[in-house]
Amino acid sequence: MLRDNERHKLFNRRTAMLAGGQAVLLSVLAGRLYYLQVVESERYRTLADENRINLRLLPPLRGRIVDRFGIPIADNRQNYRVLLIPEDTRDLDLTLSALGQIIPIGQMEQRRILRDTKRNRSFVPVTVRENLDWKTAARIEVNAPDLPGIMIDVGQSRSYPHGADLAHVLGYVAAVSPDDQTGDPLLELPGFRVGKAGLEKIHDLALRGKGGSSQVEVNAYGRVIRELERREGEPGAEVQLTIDMGLQRMVSERLGEESAAAVVLDIHTGEVLAMASTPAYDPNAFNKGLSSPEWQALVSNPRAPLTNKAIAGRYAPGSTFKMAVLLAALEKGIVTEDSEVFCSGFMELGNARFHCWKKHGHGLVNAKSAITQSCDVYFYEIARRTGIERIAAMAKRLGFGSQLGVDLPGERAGLVPTPKWKRGALEAGWQKGETVITGIGQGYLLVTPLQLAIMTARLVNGGFAVTPSLTRAVSRAAPGKNEASVPFESLNLRPRHLDLVREAMNDVMNSPFGTARRARIDKPEWAMGGKTGTVQVRRITKAEREVGVIKNKDLPWKERDHALFVGFAPIDNPRYAVSVVIEHGGSGSKAAAPIARDILEEAQRRDSARNVMAGNFNQAPGNQAPENKEQEDG
């Protein structure tokens, strides 16, 4: 009996302890619940909302690029995309097979789609194909009942309506690469495009705009239930260029499939009215994405379609450089406009003989007639007397040897050689013969077509250091007025020296002895001046000279001379300057001058430099020069 009482007391104590422990635990639990539901209620409500509501970034509309007259040259168009939602189809392979009856889907593309569906959740759309035309998108929509999980999405894609005509100026946009990442959230959006070349790259930040936002309600799996709020972004700025699209298209068509470049400037403002480099490429292809064979075809093309030859092509200027040599000699007092040099067809210096392009010589020539007839011996002689340092200094004043600062990536400086440069670059001393050949624009001297156009502008605008520009305005409004111009610095060239050069360039085109007379403009009010240039790219041996120099047409393309021309118009009141370089084109008078003539004629017909719409945009280019035999130029 006593043992039973002890057992009963022990049981009661244990029961009391257990009950007490349970009471303590319940108190702790109740306290914790109170803390979470009352004290911390606001915090957890916020966390729940954050898990329930997602803030999504919306891409802005990329800004347009327009020409000087407001014509769109880089715009946006509707982009139809076909998307696949895996959870909405029972048989993925069967759906893709049915879709393949409308749009071909290759094996690699199909593997990519299947890979993307496995990486993402089943309700996340996978892009099957972009840049569909409306007709194809409509066919897919009509067949939607037989294509479970397939839907059409409409977005915006960059469009270049003029294709290759402006490729090197505009550049292109393409998908964001790891090197492009700067921390901007827009760059992390799928399918976002950024400027990769040309003005698209230079003005990318302004064209990009500011992103919008969308608040959406999602469930625990991340599926969108509904959109709660939407704020549209700010479209990119509109960029207005100095380019006249009508003139640009004419220049591009006139150069054709040649490996060539041409630049047209307003000589007073430096505005680039046209800049073409051929052959070119279609920038729309980069936006869509190039295939490996397409990319290899571009990079392996010997005529370098990816290079903007107008700013990055470096060429010996040939006889187009003779005006710079003459100005250096006149300024130093080596010659006057009446000083004469006898040309017998060659000049000897030590054991070397330097030939004129005219085998039997020009006889007595002065400054004007030497430019008009492009006499090499005259410029051999005055270069020897003037010296390389003074020639180099004049060349730099006219825009050679350094970047001009045009608003395009990839501009090259060219090269104006000096004894100091040669010692540093080649570890060799300067030779007198190198000064002589620099006098006719050959040797180490290298320039770009843009620099040639700037030199011409500075020669005929009164000697002002005009610089090139491609952008007129960057605005979020409609095309605005041209920005206030800043006076350009004077080059301090003597007016009479400049007049002499312009008169000589006039005679090149309009004198009976001019090297480019057959390429002149017949209308007196549109008459042009200019200077031809033909640049050797191979060495002509003494033996070849004795039997007769091989004609360009009989040589392989790579061994033919480069053809160059610089010009301005009109003669009485200059407004336009042009430079044309045709790689391995042969004679400057036969190949480059007729093209420059047509360009200057079209620029004046359109009145491209004015601030109002000029001419008919769709009018065909001017007549090409008839093929007549012309005298050779230096």
Count helices and strands in the chain by DSSP H and E runs: 22, 20
Q: Token digits for 162?
A: 């003029």
Q: Is 73 within 8 Å of 243 (Cβ atoms)?
A: yes
* Listed residue (476, 483, 479, 482) closest to 63, CA to CA: 476
Instruction: Give dist(CA 563, CA 590) in Å, integer.
Output: 8
Q: Where are the alpha helices (DSSP H) in 432-556?
A: 432-438, 449-460, 495-510, 542-547
DSSP code at position 166: G
Report helix, strand and coil shares of the chain as percent, to nearest 5: 40, 20, 40
- Helix pair 388-397, 322-332: axis angle to 10 deg: 110
Q: For residues 48 and 38, what is the distance between their CA atoms, to the nearest angstrom?
A: 15
The string of DSSP letters for 462-490 reads TSB----B-EEEEESSS--PPPPPPPPPB
Cα 253 off chain centre by = 18
Give CA–CA dist 142/468, Å, rounded. Answer: 53
Task: Give one DSSP letter per residue of 45-63, joined into a string.
Answer: HHHHHHHHEEEEEEPPPPP
Q: Which of 483, 527, 469, 538 is nearest to 503 (CA)?
A: 527
Token output for 87: 């959870």
What are the distances in angstroms from CA 85 to CA 116, 122, 126, 490? Answer: 11, 7, 6, 67
Which of 157, 259, 319, 587 is the catalytic position? 319
Cβ atoms of 388 and 321 closer than 8 Å: no
The owner of tokens 């895996």 is 86
| 41 is a catalytic site residue | no
The amino acid that residue 342 corresponds to is: F
- What is the distance of C-alpha 630 from the center of its chain? 35
CA-CA distances (angstroms) from residue 45 to 34, 37, 41?
A: 15, 10, 6
Best CA proximity match to 311, nearest among 221, 393, 176, 199? 199
CB-CB contact of 454 with 265 (8 Å): yes
User: Tokens for 514?
Assistant: 């001019």
**Look-up: residue for tokens 């505005």?**
271
Confirm if 506 and 498 have CB atoms less than 8 A apart: no
Would you mind telling me the total number of residues written for the chain in this entry? 634
Q: Which runs of E-coded beta strand occur in 173-295?
A: 173-175, 193-195, 212-218, 224-231, 238-241, 260-266, 272-278
The residues assigned a catalytic role are 319
